[in-house]
Amino acid sequence: MRITFVFPEANMTGGIRVVATHADFLSRRGHDVFVIYPPRREPPFRQKLRSFLNGKGWPRKWEGEPTYLDDKSFKRRMLPSWRPIADEDVPDADVVVATWWETAEWVKKLSPSKGAKAYFIQGYELYEGMPQVRLKATWAFPMHKIVVSRWLQDIARTEYGDHCVSLVPNSVDLKQFYAPARSKNPRPRVGMVYSGGGIKGCDVSIEAYELASRSLPELELVAFGHHPTRPQLPLPKGATYTQAPPQSQLRELYASCDAWLFGSRAEGFGLPILEAMACRTPVIATPAGAAPEILASGGGLLVRPEDPADMCRAILEICHLKDDAWRAMSERAYETATSYTWEHASDRLVEALALAFERYQRGELRWE
């Protein structure tokens, strides 16, 4: 199958990693895969100045930075400057895949020779600062939707009346994320991914930790993130923070903890859940993204959204487990994370792309 993926840019975010991993698997399995993307858009001067005045520093240039597209087997091309992807940039193919709401606008305008149009959706980004009218409009485009969680599948059905949506859940790279069986730490320790964006719910996780540490003063907190911590969202005193750790260090951070906190308010999937569980670390999660289905069979605890007290309760529950009970939960987390591989996900994606092609041939994915 000839497959083109249209990326919004190349970077080190989780969403780019997911689609790049899929593209790499498809290429290695013999499909003709091409990835096209513009360079990162230069922010306007006012935005740079605002970043500086808000204590985030002057935005740095990104040329030469590593990305999740590096060292992959597929063909790729970056445009010389930022602009929407157009017909002249894209080879003829069987399927062309939009990977972000803005790329869906570009793909919609491509000619039929560029392939049946599919829309790989990893989130529903209706939060402040996003062009919500434009974003919602992309969900109504005549493209075959491929989503990563049942939550997104339900949105397509209930909000947009689309009942033919392919579900392709994410997996985790078991060569990168793994850990041997272990016991609890002598001193209890929890971890989290730090992000200044309110949608990730770091404030919920931090408050839950602070509440739990009142009952468990020896409780430790480790965190990592892409950027420096923000003065508006400080980590608790004594917390250990690792900024932009190398990929090889992530599994050590996950595996150093007795529980991993996932306080997200909204999420398309929630890849850190699986990454932590693959490292045999139970997860305490709000019911965002794929958390409900991932934790349905154990390996962690679901807590109420926007409720630090309930997350605190879960922290104390896991930290007070006897070692054999904790090891059983740890093993269940590992079994869940390793039960669905990227090979399985690749199989399902091929089926979804084939369905997109078939629907286009039947005339289901064409403008009236």
Sequence-distant (6+) residues with CB within 8 A of 12 are: 65, 66, 67, 68, 226
Residue 85 included in any domain: yes
Residue 183 included in any domain: no
Residue 263 included in any domain: yes
Closest by Cα among 363, 368, 299 to 144: 363
Q: Are residues 158 and 197 in the same domain?
A: no
Q: Are residues 73 and 102 in the same domain?
A: yes
Q: Are residues 8 and 44 in the same domain?
A: yes
Higher-confidence residue of 44 and 186: namely 186
Q: Are residues 333 and 346 in the same domain?
A: no
Q: Are residues 202 and 79 in the same domain?
A: no
pLDDT(305) > 70:
yes
pLDDT in tens, 164-221: 999 999 999 999 999 999 999 999 999 999 998 788 999 999 999 999 999 999 999 9
Compute φ and ψ for 56, nearest 5 degrees.
-90, -5
Per-residue pLDDT band for 287 (boundaries 50, 70, 90) equals: very high
CA 59 to chain centre: 23
Quote the domain boundaries for residue 41: 2-171+342-361
Q: Are residues 280 and 211 in the same domain?
A: yes
Q: Are residues 35 and 164 in the same domain?
A: yes
Q: Are residues 20 and 101 in the same domain?
A: yes
Q: Are residues 15 and 128 in the same domain?
A: yes
Average of per-residue pLDDT across 18-27:
97
User: Is 4:91 a contact under the CB 8 Å cutoff?
Assistant: yes
User: Is 189:219 a contact under the CB 8 Å cutoff?
Assistant: yes
Closest by Cα among 296, 303, 251, 292 to 272: 251
Q: Are residues 324 and 296 in the same domain?
A: yes
User: Is 38:9 a contact under the CB 8 Å cutoff?
Assistant: yes
Residue 155 included in any domain: yes
Structural domain total, the chain: 2
Q: Are residues 228 and 94 in the same domain?
A: no
pLDDT(12) > 80:
yes
pLDDT in tens, 126-154: 877 889 999 999 999 999 999 999 999 99
Tokens representing 36 are: 């096209």
pLDDT(299) > 60:
yes
Average of per-residue pLDDT across 252-268:
96
Q: Are residues 156 and 282 in the same domain?
A: no
Beta bridge partner(s), residue 368:
none
CATH number at residue 284: 3.40.50.2000
Strand 283-285: give its sheet, edge to edge.
240-243, 220-225, 189-193, 259-262, 283-285, 300-302
Q: CA-CA distances (angstroms) from residue 271 to 132, 225, 268, 293?
A: 24, 14, 9, 13
Q: List the single range of 16-25, 29-38, 118-127, 215-224 with lowest mean pLDDT.
A: 118-127
E strands along 45-140, which residues? 75-78, 95-98, 116-121
Average pLDDT, the chain: 93
